[in-house]
Amino acid sequence: MTGVASARIKAEAYALGFDLVGVTTLGPMETAPAFREWLAKGHAGTMGYLERGADKRDDSRRVFDGAVSAVVVAMNYGGTQPSGPIARYARGRDYHDVIVDRLNELLSRIRDVIAPGVNGKPYVDTGPILERDLARRAGLGWFGKNTNLINPDLGSFFFIGSLLLDVDLAPDEPFATDHCGTCTRCLQACPTQAFDGPGVLDATKCISYLTIELRDAIPLALRERIGGLVFGCDICQEVCPWNVKFSRDVTDAELQPTPAVASSTPVELLGLSEEGFRARFRHSPVTRAKRKGLARNAAVALGNTGSADTMSDLQRALQDAEPLVREHALWALERIAVRHAPEDR
Ligand code: B12
Ligand code: SF4
Ligand code: SF4
Protein backbone atom coordinates (compact mmCIF):
# COMPACT_ATOMS: atom_id res chain seq x y z
CA MET A 1 0.00 0.00 0.00
CA THR A 2 1.00 3.60 -0.38
CA GLY A 3 1.81 6.62 1.66
CA VAL A 4 -1.77 7.78 1.07
CA ALA A 5 -3.06 4.77 3.02
CA SER A 6 -0.62 5.54 5.86
CA ALA A 7 -1.81 9.13 5.95
CA ARG A 8 -5.48 8.07 6.05
CA ILE A 9 -4.82 5.54 8.80
CA LYS A 10 -2.99 8.15 10.83
CA ALA A 11 -5.87 10.61 10.38
CA GLU A 12 -8.32 7.95 11.66
CA ALA A 13 -6.06 7.26 14.65
CA TYR A 14 -5.87 10.95 15.57
CA ALA A 15 -9.65 11.16 15.23
CA LEU A 16 -9.91 8.35 17.80
CA GLY A 17 -8.04 10.52 20.30
CA PHE A 18 -4.46 9.24 20.17
CA ASP A 19 -1.91 11.99 20.86
CA LEU A 20 0.89 10.77 18.58
CA VAL A 21 0.71 8.35 15.68
CA GLY A 22 3.51 6.87 13.56
CA VAL A 23 3.83 4.03 11.07
CA THR A 24 6.74 1.62 10.84
CA THR A 25 7.72 -1.61 9.12
CA LEU A 26 8.34 -4.67 11.29
CA GLY A 27 11.57 -6.64 11.32
CA PRO A 28 14.70 -7.25 13.42
CA MET A 29 14.69 -4.88 16.39
CA GLU A 30 17.70 -2.62 16.73
CA THR A 31 17.85 -2.84 20.51
CA ALA A 32 17.31 -6.62 20.75
CA PRO A 33 21.02 -7.17 21.61
CA ALA A 34 20.73 -4.57 24.42
CA PHE A 35 17.61 -6.34 25.67
CA ARG A 36 19.45 -9.72 25.68
CA GLU A 37 22.37 -8.19 27.57
CA TRP A 38 19.95 -6.66 30.06
CA LEU A 39 18.36 -10.05 30.69
CA ALA A 40 21.78 -11.73 31.03
CA LYS A 41 22.75 -9.22 33.72
CA GLY A 42 19.71 -10.27 35.76
CA HIS A 43 18.12 -6.81 35.54
CA ALA A 44 14.67 -8.31 34.89
CA GLY A 45 14.55 -9.88 38.38
CA THR A 46 11.47 -12.06 38.74
CA MET A 47 9.78 -10.83 35.52
CA GLY A 48 10.19 -14.24 33.87
CA TYR A 49 7.71 -13.38 31.12
CA LEU A 50 10.34 -11.10 29.57
CA GLU A 51 12.77 -13.99 29.14
CA ARG A 52 10.06 -16.25 27.74
CA GLY A 53 9.18 -13.83 24.95
CA ALA A 54 12.78 -12.94 24.07
CA ASP A 55 12.83 -14.65 20.62
CA LYS A 56 9.78 -12.76 19.47
CA ARG A 57 11.22 -9.51 20.83
CA ASP A 58 14.25 -10.00 18.54
CA ASP A 59 12.09 -9.59 15.43
CA SER A 60 8.69 -7.92 15.56
CA ARG A 61 7.40 -9.92 12.53
CA ARG A 62 7.34 -13.01 14.74
CA VAL A 63 4.73 -11.57 17.07
CA PHE A 64 1.78 -12.22 14.83
CA ASP A 65 1.59 -14.42 11.73
CA GLY A 66 1.84 -12.34 8.57
CA ALA A 67 2.53 -9.05 10.36
CA VAL A 68 4.65 -6.63 8.33
CA SER A 69 3.74 -3.11 9.55
CA ALA A 70 2.64 -1.35 12.68
CA VAL A 71 0.70 1.77 13.51
CA VAL A 72 2.26 2.94 16.78
CA VAL A 73 0.37 5.36 19.00
CA ALA A 74 1.06 7.35 22.13
CA MET A 75 -1.59 8.35 24.65
CA ASN A 76 -0.95 11.07 27.21
CA TYR A 77 -1.74 10.07 30.81
CA GLY A 78 -0.87 13.44 32.28
CA GLY A 79 2.16 14.78 34.07
CA THR A 80 0.75 17.95 35.56
CA GLN A 81 -1.08 16.48 38.56
CA PRO A 82 0.83 16.39 41.85
CA SER A 83 2.83 13.29 42.73
CA GLY A 84 1.26 10.93 45.23
CA PRO A 85 1.48 7.39 46.60
CA ILE A 86 0.01 5.95 43.37
CA ALA A 87 1.91 6.75 40.16
CA ARG A 88 0.10 8.86 37.59
CA TYR A 89 -0.23 6.13 34.98
CA ALA A 90 -2.27 3.99 37.39
CA ARG A 91 -4.79 6.56 38.64
CA GLY A 92 -7.40 6.05 35.91
CA ARG A 93 -9.08 3.15 34.13
CA ASP A 94 -6.77 0.33 33.07
CA TYR A 95 -4.88 1.67 30.04
CA HIS A 96 -4.58 -1.81 28.52
CA ASP A 97 -8.36 -1.94 28.11
CA VAL A 98 -8.75 1.65 26.95
CA ILE A 99 -6.03 1.50 24.30
CA VAL A 100 -6.71 -2.06 23.08
CA ASP A 101 -10.39 -1.17 22.57
CA ARG A 102 -9.45 1.92 20.64
CA LEU A 103 -6.89 0.09 18.48
CA ASN A 104 -9.58 -2.49 17.68
CA GLU A 105 -11.85 0.37 16.64
CA LEU A 106 -9.02 1.67 14.44
CA LEU A 107 -8.68 -1.78 12.89
CA SER A 108 -12.37 -1.92 12.01
CA ARG A 109 -12.24 1.57 10.47
CA ILE A 110 -9.22 0.50 8.39
CA ARG A 111 -11.22 -2.51 7.21
CA ASP A 112 -14.31 -0.45 6.48
CA VAL A 113 -12.80 2.44 4.59
CA ILE A 114 -9.17 1.79 3.67
CA ALA A 115 -8.15 -1.86 3.35
CA PRO A 116 -10.93 -4.47 3.46
CA GLY A 117 -9.68 -7.89 4.49
CA VAL A 118 -6.68 -6.60 6.43
CA ASN A 119 -5.68 -8.63 9.46
CA GLY A 120 -4.38 -6.93 12.59
CA LYS A 121 -3.66 -7.30 16.29
CA PRO A 122 -3.39 -4.62 18.97
CA TYR A 123 -0.70 -4.66 21.67
CA VAL A 124 -0.31 -2.48 24.74
CA ASP A 125 2.12 -4.00 27.14
CA THR A 126 0.30 -7.24 26.31
CA GLY A 127 2.80 -9.10 24.13
CA PRO A 128 6.48 -9.75 23.40
CA ILE A 129 7.28 -6.42 21.76
CA LEU A 130 10.05 -3.94 22.57
CA GLU A 131 7.48 -1.17 22.54
CA ARG A 132 9.82 1.75 23.09
CA ASP A 133 12.01 0.50 20.24
CA LEU A 134 9.01 0.15 17.92
CA ALA A 135 7.81 3.63 18.89
CA ARG A 136 11.21 5.19 18.23
CA ARG A 137 11.27 3.43 14.89
CA ALA A 138 7.85 4.91 14.07
CA GLY A 139 9.24 8.38 14.79
CA LEU A 140 7.57 9.04 18.16
CA GLY A 141 10.62 9.97 20.25
CA TRP A 142 14.05 9.09 21.59
CA PHE A 143 15.24 6.82 24.44
CA GLY A 144 15.90 9.09 27.43
CA LYS A 145 18.67 8.28 29.86
CA ASN A 146 15.85 7.26 32.21
CA THR A 147 14.92 4.66 29.50
CA ASN A 148 11.54 6.27 28.82
CA LEU A 149 10.61 7.26 25.30
CA ILE A 150 10.47 11.06 25.18
CA ASN A 151 8.72 13.15 22.56
CA PRO A 152 9.87 16.75 22.05
CA ASP A 153 6.26 18.06 22.17
CA LEU A 154 4.77 15.79 24.81
CA GLY A 155 7.52 14.72 27.22
CA SER A 156 7.30 11.09 28.39
CA PHE A 157 4.09 10.75 30.42
CA PHE A 158 2.39 8.70 27.71
CA PHE A 159 1.50 5.08 27.00
CA ILE A 160 2.59 3.29 23.87
CA GLY A 161 0.25 1.07 21.85
CA SER A 162 0.79 -0.77 18.56
CA LEU A 163 -1.56 -2.15 15.95
CA LEU A 164 0.30 -4.80 13.97
CA LEU A 165 -1.02 -5.27 10.43
CA ASP A 166 -0.47 -7.73 7.59
CA VAL A 167 -0.31 -5.02 4.90
CA ASP A 168 2.67 -2.99 3.73
CA LEU A 169 2.38 0.68 4.65
CA ALA A 170 4.71 3.55 3.84
CA PRO A 171 6.68 4.05 7.08
CA ASP A 172 7.59 7.25 8.89
CA GLU A 173 11.23 8.13 9.45
CA PRO A 174 12.61 6.70 12.70
CA PHE A 175 13.36 9.30 15.39
CA ALA A 176 17.08 9.76 14.84
CA THR A 177 18.20 12.44 17.29
CA ASP A 178 18.87 12.40 21.02
CA HIS A 179 17.84 15.40 23.10
CA CYS A 180 19.20 14.48 26.52
CA GLY A 181 22.51 16.19 25.86
CA THR A 182 24.67 16.49 28.96
CA CYS A 183 21.69 16.36 31.35
CA THR A 184 21.80 13.63 34.02
CA ARG A 185 18.97 14.81 36.31
CA CYS A 186 17.06 11.53 36.17
CA LEU A 187 20.12 9.43 37.00
CA GLN A 188 20.88 11.61 40.00
CA ALA A 189 17.30 11.86 41.27
CA CYS A 190 16.57 8.12 41.41
CA PRO A 191 16.14 7.35 45.12
CA THR A 192 17.40 3.77 44.80
CA GLN A 193 20.16 4.54 42.28
CA ALA A 194 18.58 1.97 40.00
CA PHE A 195 20.37 2.99 36.81
CA ASP A 196 23.28 0.83 35.73
CA GLY A 197 24.33 3.66 33.42
CA PRO A 198 22.49 6.04 31.07
CA GLY A 199 19.58 4.25 29.39
CA VAL A 200 20.02 1.03 31.37
CA LEU A 201 17.74 0.30 34.30
CA ASP A 202 18.38 -2.44 36.82
CA ALA A 203 14.71 -3.15 37.41
CA THR A 204 15.44 -5.09 40.60
CA LYS A 205 16.28 -1.78 42.29
CA CYS A 206 13.48 0.27 40.72
CA ILE A 207 10.61 1.30 43.01
CA SER A 208 8.18 0.58 40.20
CA TYR A 209 9.35 -3.04 40.09
CA LEU A 210 9.54 -3.37 43.87
CA THR A 211 6.00 -2.09 44.41
CA ILE A 212 4.26 -3.65 41.38
CA GLU A 213 6.07 -6.71 40.08
CA LEU A 214 7.88 -8.15 43.10
CA ARG A 215 5.70 -10.63 44.98
CA ASP A 216 8.00 -11.29 47.96
CA ALA A 217 9.52 -9.18 50.69
CA ILE A 218 11.03 -5.86 49.64
CA PRO A 219 14.79 -6.01 50.27
CA LEU A 220 15.59 -4.30 53.58
CA ALA A 221 18.34 -2.18 52.06
CA LEU A 222 15.85 -0.53 49.68
CA ARG A 223 12.82 -0.02 51.92
CA GLU A 224 13.78 3.38 53.31
CA ARG A 225 14.48 4.71 49.81
CA ILE A 226 10.90 4.06 48.72
CA GLY A 227 9.71 6.99 50.83
CA GLY A 228 5.94 7.47 50.66
CA LEU A 229 5.38 5.73 47.31
CA VAL A 230 2.93 2.82 47.30
CA PHE A 231 2.43 1.83 43.65
CA GLY A 232 4.89 2.77 40.89
CA CYS A 233 7.28 5.69 40.73
CA ASP A 234 7.45 8.82 38.57
CA ILE A 235 10.54 10.51 40.00
CA CYS A 236 12.91 10.05 37.04
CA GLN A 237 10.20 11.52 34.79
CA GLU A 238 9.17 14.34 37.12
CA VAL A 239 12.68 15.80 37.12
CA CYS A 240 13.09 15.58 33.35
CA PRO A 241 13.17 19.06 31.78
CA TRP A 242 11.11 17.78 28.84
CA ASN A 243 8.29 16.92 31.24
CA VAL A 244 8.70 20.06 33.32
CA LYS A 245 8.14 22.02 30.12
CA PHE A 246 5.80 19.89 27.99
CA SER A 247 3.73 17.54 30.13
CA ARG A 248 -0.01 18.10 29.80
CA ASP A 249 -3.22 17.54 31.73
CA VAL A 250 -5.14 14.35 30.99
CA THR A 251 -7.79 15.35 28.48
CA ASP A 252 -9.08 11.96 27.38
CA ALA A 253 -12.34 11.17 29.16
CA GLU A 254 -11.50 7.49 29.59
CA LEU A 255 -8.12 8.14 31.20
CA GLN A 256 -9.30 10.67 33.79
CA PRO A 257 -8.10 9.82 37.32
CA THR A 258 -10.64 7.86 39.36
CA PRO A 259 -11.11 9.97 42.53
CA ALA A 260 -11.16 7.02 44.96
CA VAL A 261 -7.92 5.69 43.47
CA ALA A 262 -6.08 8.98 43.05
CA SER A 263 -6.83 10.12 46.61
CA SER A 264 -5.95 6.83 48.32
CA THR A 265 -3.75 7.22 51.39
CA PRO A 266 -1.30 4.61 52.74
CA VAL A 267 -3.43 4.18 55.89
CA GLU A 268 -6.50 3.34 53.78
CA LEU A 269 -4.52 1.00 51.55
CA LEU A 270 -3.04 -0.85 54.49
CA GLY A 271 -6.46 -1.55 55.96
CA LEU A 272 -8.36 -2.66 52.85
CA SER A 273 -10.14 -6.02 52.95
CA GLU A 274 -10.03 -8.23 49.83
CA GLU A 275 -13.53 -7.02 49.05
CA GLY A 276 -12.64 -3.37 49.65
CA PHE A 277 -9.59 -3.77 47.42
CA ARG A 278 -11.66 -5.25 44.59
CA ALA A 279 -14.28 -2.51 44.87
CA ARG A 280 -11.80 0.36 44.88
CA PHE A 281 -9.53 -0.96 42.13
CA ARG A 282 -12.04 -2.50 39.73
CA HIS A 283 -10.74 -1.81 36.16
CA SER A 284 -7.56 -0.24 37.58
CA PRO A 285 -3.92 -1.20 36.81
CA VAL A 286 -3.38 -1.33 40.59
CA THR A 287 -5.01 -4.79 40.72
CA ARG A 288 -1.67 -6.14 39.44
CA ALA A 289 -0.12 -5.77 42.91
CA LYS A 290 -3.02 -7.63 44.57
CA ARG A 291 -4.33 -6.68 48.03
CA LYS A 292 -1.40 -8.35 49.73
CA GLY A 293 1.25 -6.49 47.70
CA LEU A 294 -0.45 -3.14 48.11
CA ALA A 295 -0.78 -3.58 51.89
CA ARG A 296 2.92 -4.56 52.04
CA ASN A 297 3.80 -1.36 50.14
CA ALA A 298 1.52 0.79 52.28
CA ALA A 299 3.25 -0.51 55.41
CA VAL A 300 6.64 0.47 53.99
CA ALA A 301 5.35 3.95 53.07
CA LEU A 302 4.02 4.43 56.60
CA GLY A 303 7.30 3.21 58.06
CA ASN A 304 9.02 5.95 56.09
CA THR A 305 6.56 8.81 56.35
CA GLY A 306 3.83 7.93 58.86
CA SER A 307 3.23 9.90 62.06
CA ALA A 308 2.98 8.25 65.49
CA ASP A 309 -0.81 8.29 64.95
CA THR A 310 -0.47 5.63 62.25
CA MET A 311 1.06 3.14 64.68
CA SER A 312 -2.38 1.83 65.67
CA ASP A 313 -3.13 1.05 62.00
CA LEU A 314 0.18 -0.78 61.71
CA GLN A 315 -0.52 -2.67 64.94
CA ARG A 316 -3.80 -3.88 63.44
CA ALA A 317 -1.86 -5.00 60.37
CA LEU A 318 0.19 -7.29 62.66
CA GLN A 319 -2.96 -9.46 62.64
CA ASP A 320 -3.19 -9.50 58.80
CA ALA A 321 -3.80 -12.96 57.30
CA GLU A 322 -0.66 -12.56 55.15
CA PRO A 323 2.74 -13.09 56.80
CA LEU A 324 4.22 -10.75 54.16
CA VAL A 325 2.04 -7.87 55.39
CA ARG A 326 2.73 -8.66 59.07
CA GLU A 327 6.50 -8.60 58.54
CA HIS A 328 6.45 -5.25 56.72
CA ALA A 329 4.11 -3.77 59.34
CA LEU A 330 6.51 -4.80 62.08
CA TRP A 331 9.40 -3.21 60.19
CA ALA A 332 7.36 -0.03 59.84
CA LEU A 333 6.45 0.09 63.53
CA GLU A 334 10.11 -0.20 64.48
CA ARG A 335 11.01 2.61 62.10
CA ILE A 336 8.34 4.93 63.46
CA ALA A 337 9.30 4.08 67.02
CA VAL A 338 12.91 5.03 66.29
CA ARG A 339 11.82 8.24 64.60
CA HIS A 340 9.63 9.28 67.48
CA ALA A 341 11.85 8.08 70.32
CA PRO A 342 12.67 10.85 72.83
CA GLU A 343 16.08 12.29 72.03
CA ASP A 344 18.97 11.46 74.43
CA ARG A 345 19.85 14.47 76.49
C1 B12 B 1 9.29 -4.59 32.06
C2 B12 B 1 8.71 -3.20 32.04
C3 B12 B 1 8.94 -2.40 33.16
C4 B12 B 1 9.96 -2.77 34.23
C5 B12 B 1 11.37 -2.49 33.69
C6 B12 B 1 11.48 -1.10 33.03
C7 B12 B 1 12.68 -0.92 32.12
N8 B12 B 1 13.11 0.31 31.98
O9 B12 B 1 13.17 -1.87 31.58
C10 B12 B 1 9.51 -1.87 35.41
C11 B12 B 1 8.51 -2.62 36.28
C12 B12 B 1 10.62 -1.34 36.31
C13 B12 B 1 8.78 -0.77 34.65
C14 B12 B 1 8.61 0.51 35.15
C15 B12 B 1 7.95 1.52 34.46
N16 B12 B 1 7.24 1.39 33.32
CO17 B12 B 1 7.27 -0.21 32.23
N18 B12 B 1 7.33 -1.60 30.98
C19 B12 B 1 7.96 -2.73 30.94
C20 B12 B 1 7.72 -3.47 29.62
C21 B12 B 1 6.68 -4.57 29.84
C22 B12 B 1 9.00 -4.07 28.98
C23 B12 B 1 10.21 -3.10 29.00
C24 B12 B 1 11.48 -3.80 28.59
O25 B12 B 1 11.51 -4.52 27.60
N26 B12 B 1 12.55 -3.59 29.35
C27 B12 B 1 13.85 -4.10 29.00
C28 B12 B 1 14.80 -2.94 28.76
C29 B12 B 1 16.13 -3.44 28.19
O30 B12 B 1 14.18 -2.14 27.79
P31 B12 B 1 13.84 -0.61 28.00
O32 B12 B 1 14.16 -0.16 29.37
O33 B12 B 1 12.45 -0.37 27.47
O34 B12 B 1 14.93 0.11 27.10
C35 B12 B 1 14.88 0.23 25.70
C36 B12 B 1 15.64 1.49 25.26
O37 B12 B 1 15.94 2.32 26.35
C38 B12 B 1 16.84 1.00 24.52
N39 B12 B 1 18.14 0.90 25.15
C40 B12 B 1 18.70 -0.21 25.55
N41 B12 B 1 19.95 -0.01 25.97
C42 B12 B 1 20.19 1.26 25.82
C43 B12 B 1 21.33 1.98 26.10
C44 B12 B 1 21.33 3.33 25.89
C45 B12 B 1 22.57 4.08 26.17
C46 B12 B 1 20.16 3.97 25.41
C47 B12 B 1 20.12 5.45 25.23
C48 B12 B 1 19.01 3.21 25.11
C49 B12 B 1 19.04 1.86 25.31
O50 B12 B 1 16.52 -0.34 24.16
C51 B12 B 1 15.70 -0.93 25.13
C52 B12 B 1 14.89 -2.04 24.49
O53 B12 B 1 14.12 -1.59 23.42
C54 B12 B 1 7.17 -2.30 28.72
C55 B12 B 1 6.14 -2.73 27.65
C56 B12 B 1 6.83 -3.42 26.49
N57 B12 B 1 6.33 -4.57 26.10
O58 B12 B 1 7.80 -2.90 25.97
C59 B12 B 1 6.58 -1.31 29.74
C60 B12 B 1 6.77 0.20 29.48
C61 B12 B 1 8.20 0.41 29.06
N62 B12 B 1 6.56 0.80 30.80
C63 B12 B 1 5.98 1.93 30.77
C64 B12 B 1 5.77 2.75 31.91
C65 B12 B 1 4.77 3.88 31.77
C66 B12 B 1 6.48 2.51 33.11
C67 B12 B 1 6.60 3.43 34.34
C68 B12 B 1 6.63 4.92 34.03
C69 B12 B 1 5.43 3.10 35.33
C70 B12 B 1 5.57 3.79 36.68
N71 B12 B 1 5.22 5.07 36.79
O72 B12 B 1 5.92 3.19 37.66
C73 B12 B 1 7.93 2.94 34.96
C74 B12 B 1 9.14 3.69 34.38
C75 B12 B 1 10.46 3.21 34.95
C76 B12 B 1 11.60 3.44 33.97
N77 B12 B 1 12.47 4.40 34.24
O78 B12 B 1 11.65 2.73 32.95
C79 B12 B 1 5.65 2.37 29.34
C80 B12 B 1 6.69 3.42 28.90
C81 B12 B 1 6.16 4.51 27.99
C82 B12 B 1 7.30 5.46 27.60
N83 B12 B 1 6.92 6.71 27.34
O84 B12 B 1 8.47 5.10 27.53
C85 B12 B 1 5.73 0.99 28.58
C86 B12 B 1 6.18 1.08 27.13
C87 B12 B 1 4.30 0.36 28.66
C88 B12 B 1 3.32 0.98 27.66
N89 B12 B 1 2.81 0.20 26.72
O90 B12 B 1 3.02 2.17 27.69
N91 B12 B 1 8.39 -1.19 33.42
S1 SF4 C 1 10.95 4.87 38.37
FE2 SF4 C 1 11.77 5.68 40.33
S3 SF4 C 1 13.03 4.04 41.20
FE4 SF4 C 1 12.61 3.51 39.04
S5 SF4 C 1 14.37 4.31 37.95
FE6 SF4 C 1 12.85 5.95 37.92
S7 SF4 C 1 13.32 7.19 39.75
FE8 SF4 C 1 14.40 5.25 39.97
S1 SF4 D 1 16.25 14.01 32.91
FE2 SF4 D 1 17.76 14.68 31.39
S3 SF4 D 1 19.01 12.87 30.98
FE4 SF4 D 1 17.14 12.19 31.99
S5 SF4 D 1 15.78 11.63 30.35
FE6 SF4 D 1 15.32 13.76 30.86
S7 SF4 D 1 16.64 15.00 29.49
FE8 SF4 D 1 17.40 12.88 29.43
Q: What is the pLDDT of residue 208?
A: 98
- pLDDT classification of 75: cutoffs 50, 70, 90: very high
DSSP for residue 85: S
Distance 269 CA to ligand 2 centre (A): 22
Q: In this structure, which ligand is nearest to the CA of 200?
A: 1
Please indicate, yes or no, if residue 258 is contained in any of the structural domains. no
Q: Which atom of ligand 1 is nearest to 232's Cα?
A: 72
* Residues 268 and 247 both lie in one domain: no
Task: Please report the atom of ligand 2 found closest to the CA of residue 232.
Answer: 1
Q: How many domains does the structure of the chain reveal?
A: 2
For residue 164, being part of any structural domain is answered with yes
Whole-model pTM: value is 0.97
* 222 and 342 part of one domain: no
Closest C-alpha to ligand 1, atom 53 = 133
* CA-proximal residue: ligand 2, atom 8 (nearest): 190
Share of the chain above pLDDT 70, in %: 98
What is residue 29's predicted lDDT score, i.e. its pLDDT?
96
Question: Per-residue pLDDT tens for 260-295?
Answer: 999 999 999 999 999 999 999 999 999 999 999 999
CATH of the domain at 311: 1.25.10
218 and 95 part of one domain: yes
Side-chain-facing half-sphere of 240: CA atoms under 13 Å: 29
Residue 154 and residue 279 in one domain: no
pLDDT tens for each residue of 145-187: 999 999 999 999 999 999 999 999 999 999 999 999 999 999 9
Instruction: Identify the domain boundary among 224, 253, 282.
Output: 253
* Residues 4 and 54 placed together within one structural domain of the fold: yes
Q: What is the pLDDT of residue 345?
A: 42
Distance 145 CA to ligand 2 centre (A): 12
Q: Above 90 in pLDDT, residue 1?
A: no
Ligand 3 atom having least distance to the Cα of 239 = 1
DSSP 89: G
236 & 270 share domain:
no
Taking residue 245's Cβ as centre, other Cβ atoms within 10 Å add up to: 10
Nearest to 172 by CA among 303, 9, 324, 328: 9
For 210, other C-beta atoms within 10 Å of its C-beta total: 26
For residue 115, the tally of other CB atoms under 10 A from its CB is 19
Q: What range does the domain containing 193 cover?
A: 1-253
Q: Are 242 and 283 in a shared domain? A: no
**Nearest atom, ligand 2, residue 205 CA:** 3
Using the 3D structure, point to which of 227, 253, 279 is the last residue of a domain: 253
Q: Does the active-site annotation cover 125?
A: yes
- Which is the catalytic residue, given 58, 125, 166, 252? 125
Examine the domain organization and report whether 56 and 78 are in the same domain.
yes
In a domain, 309, yes or no: yes
CA of 198 to the centre of ligand 3 (A): 9
Share of the chain above pLDDT 90, in %: 93
Q: Could you read off the pLDDT of 102-144 as tens digits, one per residue?
A: 999 999 999 998 889 999 999 999 899 999 999 999 999 999 9
User: What mean pLDDT, rounded, does the chain reach?
Assistant: 96
Same domain assignment for residues 282 and 243: no
Q: Which protein residue has the closest C-alpha to ligand 2 atom 2?
A: 233
Average of pLDDT values for 79-93? 97
Single residue among 228, 253, 278 that ends a domain in this structure? 253
Tell me: do 275 and 248 sit in the same domain.
no
* 259 domain-assigned: no
In the predicted structure, residue 344 carries a pLDDT above the cut 60: no
Tens of pLDDT, residue by residue over 215-237, are 999 999 999 999 999 999 999 99
> Ligand 1, residues 51, 77, 89, 132: which to mutate, most atoms within 8 A of Cβ?
132
Are 215 and 328 part of one and the same domain?
no
Task: Check whether residue 282 and residue 207 sit in a common domain.
Answer: no
